[in-house]
Structure 1
Amino acid sequence: MKIDLISKLQHLLQVMAFCLGVATLQVIFMPERPWAPPVAYSLAIGLFTWAIIDLGRHLFPSAAETGWPSGVAGPLLVAGGIAVGYLLGNALADLGCRTFGWYAGAPPVDRAVELRNSILITVLAGVVGSYYFYAASKSAYLERKMVEAGRQASEARLKLLETQLEPHMLFNTLANLRALIGIDPPRAQIMLDHMNRYLRATLSGSRATAHPLSAEFARLEDYLALMAIRMGPRLGSTLELPDALRDVPVPPLLLQPLVENAIRHGLEPQVDGGHITVRAQAEGAGLLLEVADTGAGFDPAAPATTGGSRFGLAQVRERVATAYDGRGQVDLQSAPGQGTVIRIHLPAPNPAT
């Protein structure tokens, strides 16, 4: 039996506040009577009742959604707790009042009426308090289920985005391979070997929602090797990954779409090609990823004129928002003839898997 002591302490303080509230109401309606006895009786009965019900419920098999005993055990526990709490609390409060002389100055009372009122107050307060804690436990369970469902929905959405990215990359690579077969079959064969290794790593890594940053850079190295076979000296590349960041988890295929866009829409249209740099660096407690190219650039405010020219950027933004619950950020800086720089700001902690 595992009991959350912090939660029980919170319950204890709530019960004490509730008992003092009940005692205050009694004093308000009967101002001619001393205030000490109602406080003593209310606290003693309330705390005994709470201890029997809230601690005793852990001795029974409980429903997962409420943490309370299932079936008739729950109502029986509440009824027994109220009855025993009333008897023990009455005895203790009476002993305290007699010991410390708190009955002094109290006017005569009708014992039958006093007994009826005290039982009625105890039953009502016990039922209300038990229902409050029962409802609070059920609400906490539902909140946990909502958080879990939201996380599962985010993971499903992330996998959907990955399934959209992988065919997009594959089609572009196959188109490059087809073009190369006609003009340079030996290089096409080397490119096919690179693609086999790249796809094998991609398919095995796509089963996870996150992988080390070193694996992401390894895929980029394979992809750039594929592109270098086609573009030759027109493509230059630099990958910068500090050793301290190699094990930082990131969503798979996070950078590859940006590198693909940089080559296809930034470097390839230029006669001389260009250079692409991918770097990672710490940014406070978080992570900064940057993809920069010396390509043609474009006006970010202008509408896209090519169907897939901004597919990768849009998908990366959506994946960052999904994986990091809206706490990540993707910035774009570009201008015609001046290249493009895309920065991904990832918070800490990194995404849970």
Structure 2
Amino acid sequence: MRGPHSISGLRRPPERGSLPDFCSLPIMFALLVIAALTATIVWLASDNRRDWSSYSISILFVTWMAMMIGLSLCMLRSLLQCLPRQMPYVAAWLVIMPIVAGASVLAYEFNDALQLQLVRSNLGTFVRDNVAITALLAAAMLRYFYVLVQWRTRLAAATRAQVDALQARIRPHFLFNSMNTVAALIRLDPVAAERTVENLSELFRAALGQYDSSDGTLGDELTLIERYLAIEQLRLGERLRVQCDLGDLPVDFPLPRLLLQPLVENAVRHGIQPLREGGEVTLRGRRDSKGLCIEIGNPLSTNPPEPGNGHGLDNVRQRVAYRYGTLAKVEAGKRGDRFVVLLRLPNGPTSSAYSR
């Protein structure tokens, strides 16, 4: 009997292409710039008499044509997206050609009716030249968009896989210590043992990605931290002291799951556990107009750090950079006799490579 991940015998549906959003301002601006540059180059390379009136009308013509192309592709995008693989780009290229041909015919008739004498060639040559130039430019432009979308898709897939792998990793030492604590409490304090198992279960559910959404809330994360610290408190006793001052932080603030818990775990593992007298883990937070500022600190240990130190911090850095971009910062370093990690998370909606 095959397991749930053994699906090699099933036929996968054909992959669908992903066109850029031609309704967006950056894409429309790119079309207008390309059209204006093309008209300028043709005007400069022409052997005819160069005058500003013909240049202005040429810019007007290519701008109108670029807007027609952009709006047409914007309206047809949902239909073109249904085609497999690279076919949406081929279909988009085929859509552009009749638009250019029709616009060229209209421009020629308009020039002939008003006797502007801006077009000196016949109708067939004028339409042919415009279609040929547009075909080359459109092929290059769509190829660029295709490569850009593929690069973003691969980046999103690689980053998502890396985040999932980092999120799913549970340090063996924490599991072993927790199970030993439960075993010791079963006879001495069954209620505490049951509570510890419940806390451990919730941590495992979060770490193994039980939740469908990639984001939780600050309140969810703080609940996980409380469960984790409750487990460690049973093991470390009075050696572990916690000071929490989160002010008026909104508990419904969107936050990637298991973003803060690894930092608290690092603070306990590398700041409290090596010290015979223990120490204090601090969790502070404040909110300003730009977003949230969360600070996690622990005392510095004079002993060499245990192997693997820094993995949790690297995990957080990667996830914050991917989730919030350059607007967020993760700063870590010594501050007097303590080690402090500072997170600055921006307000408002954020984008990622795989949120579409």
TM-score, normalised via structure 1 length: 0.69
> What is the Cα deviation at residue 212 of structure 1?
0.9
> What is the Cα deviation at residue 242 of structure 1?
3.3
Residues 43 and 138 of structure 1, relative CA distance in 2, 3 Å threshold: same
Residue of structure 1 in register with 2:250 after alignment: 245
Give yes or no for the alignment of 1:95 onto 2:96: no
User: Residue 328 of structure 1 contacts residue 345 of structure 1 at CA under 8 Å; is this kept in 2?
Assistant: yes
In the TM superposition, what whole-angstrom CA distance separates every residue of 1:240-274 from its partner, at most 9, and x where no partner exists? Answer: 33344312223322333333343344334445433
User: Residue 259 of structure 1 contacts residue 291 of structure 1 at CA under 8 Å; is this kept in 2?
Assistant: yes
Residues 4 and 275 of structure 1, relative CA distance in 2, 3 Å threshold: closer
Could you tell me which amino acid in structure 1 is paired with residue 196 of structure 2? M
- The SS at the match of 2:152 is helix
Could you tell me which amino acid in structure 1 is paired with residue 155 of structure 2? G
Within-5 A mapping of 1:108-127: 115=121, 119-127=124-132
Residues 131 and 251 of structure 1, relative CA distance in 2, 3 Å threshold: same
In the TM superposition, what whole-angstrom CA distance separates every residue of 1:164-216 from its partner, at most 9, and x where no partner exists? Answer: 235553233224445x35xx8323x3443233222332244333433211111
Give yes or no for the alignment of 1:298 onto 2:301: yes
Could you tell me which amino acid in structure 1 is paired with residue 110 of structure 2? L
Give yes or no for the alignment of 1:74 onto 2:77: no
Residues 19 and 66 of structure 1, relative CA distance in 2, 3 Å threshold: farther
Give yes or no for the alignment of 1:341 onto 2:343: no
Segments of 5+ residues of structure 1 without an aligned counterpart are 104-113
> What is the Cα deviation at residue 59 of structure 1?
6.8
d(CA) in 1 for partners of 2:220, 2:301:
30
Residue of structure 2 in register with 1:202 after alignment: 203
Could you tell me which amino acid in structure 2 is paired with residue 328 of structure 1? K
In the TM superposition, what whole-angstrom CA distance separates every residue of 1:64-99 from its partner, at most 9, and x where no partner exists? Answer: 65756739x928x736853x545433332122227x
Within-5 A mapping of 1:154-165: 154-165=159-170
Within-5 A mapping of 1:217-256: 217-256=222-261
Residue of structure 1 in register with 2:153 after alignment: 148
d(CA) in 2 for partners of 1:48, 1:343:
51
> What is the Cα deviation at residue 160 of structure 1?
0.8
In the TM superposition, what whole-angstrom CA distance separates every residue of 1:248-302 from its partner, at most 9, and x where no partner exists? Answer: 2233223333333433443344454333221222255132222223x4x236xx9
Give yes or no for the alignment of 1:328 onto 2:329: yes
Residues 115 and 215 of structure 1, relative CA distance in 2, 3 Å threshold: closer
Residues 190 and 263 of structure 1, relative CA distance in 2, 3 Å threshold: farther
User: Residue 328 of structure 1 contacts residue 347 of structure 1 at CA under 8 Å; is this kept in 2?
Assistant: no
Residue of structure 1 in register with 2:80 after alignment: 62
Residue of structure 1 in register with 2:16 after alignment: none
- The SS at the match of 1:4 is coil
d(CA) in 2 for partners of 1:17, 1:272:
71
> What is the Cα deviation at residue 151 of structure 1?
2.4
Residue of structure 1 in register with 2:188 after alignment: 186
- Paired residue total: 320
Residues 123 and 219 of structure 1, relative CA distance in 2, 3 Å threshold: same
Residue of structure 2 in register with 1:110 after alignment: none
Residue of structure 2 in register with 1:108 after alignment: none
Moved more, 169-178 or 147-156: 169-178
Could you tell me which amino acid in structure 2 is paired with residue 70 of structure 1? A
Residues 13 and 324 of structure 1, relative CA distance in 2, 3 Å threshold: closer
Larger radius of gyration: 1
- The SS at the match of 2:80 is coil
1:276 to 277, 281, 291: 281
Could you tell me which amino acid in structure 2 is paired with residue 306 of structure 1? E
Could you tell me which amino acid in structure 2 is paired with residue 344 of structure 1? L
1:139 to 134, 138, 144: 144
Residue of structure 2 in register with 1:111 after alignment: none
d(CA) in 1 for partners of 2:67, 2:257:
51
d(CA) in 2 for partners of 1:320, 1:47:
41
User: Residue 44 of structure 1 contacts residue 89 of structure 1 at CA under 8 Å; is this kept in 2?
Assistant: no
Alpha carbon RMSD of aligned pairs, Å? 4.3
Residues 40 and 173 of structure 1, relative CA distance in 2, 3 Å threshold: closer
Residues 37 and 66 of structure 1, relative CA distance in 2, 3 Å threshold: farther
TM-score, normalised via structure 2 length: 0.69
In the TM superposition, what whole-angstrom CA distance separates every residue of 1:114-141 from its partner, at most 9, and x where no partner exists? Answer: 656x643541232112331343234224
